[in-house]
């Protein structure tokens, strides 16, 4: 389901973080039934909230301290697996920010 064209559109195989941002700049709400990683309803993962909190802390720290650029020519493809991860990883260049706001 995580890569189905009928659910996510023709660009379902592309890495596009902007698909989660609304036209007003906020975060788009997508029902958990569309993205089955943590399941939904009564079978929802007990660690989901903790995992999202950790994700936000780590992402915020990295974005605050570094400029992030994707490596040109690197293929971003999903792996054939029950666990959602990238086939070749996500190669980026990190440049430490010289000044903090």
pLDDT for the residue numbered 1: 64
Mean pLDDT of the region 54-64:
95
More confident residue, 19 or 94: 94
d(CA 22, CA 41): 25
What is the chain's mean pLDDT, rounded? 85
Give me 85's structure tokens. 């991860």
Mean pLDDT of the region 8-37:
82
Sign for the pseudo-dihedral over CA of 91, 7, 5, 39: positive
Phi and psi angles of residue 95, each rounded to the nearest 5 degrees, phi first: -120, 120
Q: How far is CA 90 from the centre of its chain?
A: 11
DSSP letters for 45-95: -TTHHHHHHHHHHHHHHHHHHEEEEEPTT----B-SSSS--BTT---EEEE
Report pTM. Answer: 0.54
């Amino acid at each position: 389901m995580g890569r189905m064209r009928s659910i996510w559109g023709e660009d379902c195989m592309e890495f596009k973080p902007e698909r989660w941002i609304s036209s007003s700049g906020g975060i788009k709400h997508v029902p958990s039934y569309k993205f089955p990683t943590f399941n939904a309803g009564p079978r929802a993962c007990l660690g989901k909230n903790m995992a999202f909190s950790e994700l936000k802390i780590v992402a915020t720290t990295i974005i605050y301290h570094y400029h992030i650029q994707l490596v040109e020519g690197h293929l971003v493809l999903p792996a054939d697996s029950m666990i959602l991860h990238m086939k070749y990883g996500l190669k980026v260049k990190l440049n430490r920010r010289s000044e903090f706001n």
